């Protein structure tokens, strides 16, 4: 447990409470708003957004010099409940989310047991309401036990509260089963989030296949495995009229496939992670398992294609793929360690340092990819600062310089390739349903 103070102001349901955020640069892409303004919050909802609000408030936050945005949304995290609480749980994971500026996260179903039925979804929704510091949404499995052989009861899970479906961590090899899933969900509006790596081509691979993997003597995972999988799922979406969302896209050719499919009117969207935007295979070090992720770090050409796709709208959103593991799991030989690292607490810092401050992306686009876009695609009541919306808000200091230190993480995961990095830009306050969670700076 670190030595930071976690301060949460709880509102009493029977008392009208007024909270005023003053003088921040408010960026609300969904409403095309970008100006210095105040935000008035009454009883946990947005009451006004305009310059110089004159109102007597119970609490005021001076956001001078800071950016105020709709609460950040991450539609791809692994909070590890149920059954893998040694890696993470809803409490630690949602605290990490709040520390990183995220007010809504969606947790993947590849847990133990797999979240593949309505009873488990209901249990997870209840658990999230009981202990979650932020809004935790539940993603259900596409197939029973994520084995790709039989469809899970997805409609029952929708009724229970599932917001989307995924067999993340697995590519559904059986095209007929996957096509049936798209047909089954066709009239529900729900999205299938697809992990795209053709299984036979990546078996045993631990990094990107290429010259670097040959030099290191590590078995590779080729980009063509992703390209084939993306092409198949795009074609099936076009054939059925279903909705597919490409998880953690990383291959330049896969971006081209999605771009072309969108031009044809296919219902396909895509996400990218900070690591696939800013890191390459050159950083892979067999002595440091934090760089082992899935899909693997690619080439600079692929990184450039990710940014281009983000800017031209081919890639719709940014996610962290927050994947914490227990220390003893990552402290193994590279080939045996599990893939993934915690990303919720470093995402804003990496994106601001490597993209915004280097002039590679403007603030409106960056904020839109983390707020309005995911809310619109997944049908969430979030992602904007419209009147009467839940007051989910993130306050970012774009100039704050800080050093990544695992001892200060709220997540249980400690293996991050960003440890020791000096970053510029950080979420300094997170507001969920009008409740302020203000972190002490470190």
For residue 343, give the 3-state DSSP assignment.
coil
Contacting residues for 84 by C-beta, under 8 A, at least 6 apart: 111, 112
Residue given tokens 């693997």 in the structure block: 296
- HEC states along 247-291? CCCCCHHHHHHHHHHHHCCCCEEEEECHHHHHCCHHHCECCEHHH
Say if CB 423 and CB 404 are below 8 A apart: yes
Residues 6+ apart with CB under 8 A from 349: 402, 404, 418, 423, 424, 425, 426
277 phi and psi angles, rounded to 5 deg: -85, -25
SS3 36: strand
Contact 101, 410 (CB under 8 A): no
User: 350 and 359 in contact (C-beta within 8 Å)?
Assistant: no
| Beta strands 72-77 and 102-107, pairing class | parallel
**Cis status, amide bond into 301, omega within 30 of 0:** no
Q: Has 35 been annotated as catalytic? A: no
Cβ neighbourhood burial of 126 (10 Å; 0-12, 13-18, 19+): exposed
354: which 2 tokens? 């490597």
Q: Is it true that the peptide bond before 113 is cis, omega within 30 degrees of 0?
A: yes
Spatial contact of 97 and 106, defined as CB atoms under 8 Å apart: no
Spot the catalytic one: 321, 331, 388, 405. 321
Tell which residue, 371, 379, 429, has the closest CA to residue 400.
Answer: 429
Supply the residues annotated as catalytic: 321
């Amino acid at each position: 447990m670190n030595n930071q103070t976690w301060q949460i102001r709880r509102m009493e349901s029977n008392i009208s409470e007024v909270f005023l955020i003053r003088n921040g640069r408010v960026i609300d892409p969904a409403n095309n708003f970008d100006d210095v303004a105040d935000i008035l919050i009454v009883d946990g909802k947005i009451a006004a957004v305009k310059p110089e609000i004159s109102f007597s408030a119970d609490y005021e936050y001076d956001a001078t010099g800071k950016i105020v945005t709709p609460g950040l949304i991450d539609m791809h995290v692994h909070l590890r409940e149920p059954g893998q609480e040694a890696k993470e749980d809803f409490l630690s994971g949602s605290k990490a989310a709040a520390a990183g500026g995220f007010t809504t996260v969606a947790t993947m179903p590849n847990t133990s047991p797999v979240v593949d039925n309505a009873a488990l979804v209901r249990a997870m929704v209840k658990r999230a309401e009981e202990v979650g510091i932020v809004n935790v949404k539940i993603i259900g499995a596409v197939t029973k036990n994520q084995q790709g052989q039989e469809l899970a009861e997805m409609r029952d899970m929708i009724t229970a509260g599932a917001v989307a479906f995924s067999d993340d961590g697995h590519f559904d090899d059986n095209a007929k089963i996957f096509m049936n899933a798209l047909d089954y969900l066709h009239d529900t509006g729900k999205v299938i989030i697809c992990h795209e790596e053709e299984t036979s081509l990546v078996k045993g691979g631990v990094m990107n296949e290429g010259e670097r993997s040959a030099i290191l003597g590590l078995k590779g995972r080729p980009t063509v495995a992703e390209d084939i999988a993306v092409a198949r799922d795009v074609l099936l979406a076009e054939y059925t009229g279903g909705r597919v969302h490409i998880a953690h896209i990383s291959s330049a050719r896969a971006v081209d496939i999605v771009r072309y499919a969108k031009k044809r009117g296919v219902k396909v969207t895509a996400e990218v992670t900070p690591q696939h935007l800013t890191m390459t295979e050159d950083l892979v070090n067999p002595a440091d398992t934090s760089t082992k992720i899935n899909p693997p770090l690619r080439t600079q050409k692929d990184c450039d294609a990710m940014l281009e796709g983000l800017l031209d709208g081919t890639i719709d959103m940014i996610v962290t793929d927050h994947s914490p593991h227990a220390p003893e799991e990552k402290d193994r030989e590279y080939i045996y360690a599990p893939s993934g690292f915690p990303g919720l607490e470093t995402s804003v810092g990496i994106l601001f340092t490597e993209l915004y401050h280097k002039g590679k992306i403007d603030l409106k686009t960056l904020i839109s990819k983390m707020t309005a876009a995911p809310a619109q695609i997944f049908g969430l009541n979030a992602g904007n600062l419209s009147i009467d919306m839940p007051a989910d808000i993130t306050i970012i200091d774009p100039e704050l310089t800080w050093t990544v230190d695992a001892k200060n993480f709220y997540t249980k995961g400690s293996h991050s390739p960003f440890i020791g990095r000096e970053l510029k830009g950080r979420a300094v306050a997170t507001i969920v349903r009008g409740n302020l969670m203000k972190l002490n700076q470190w």
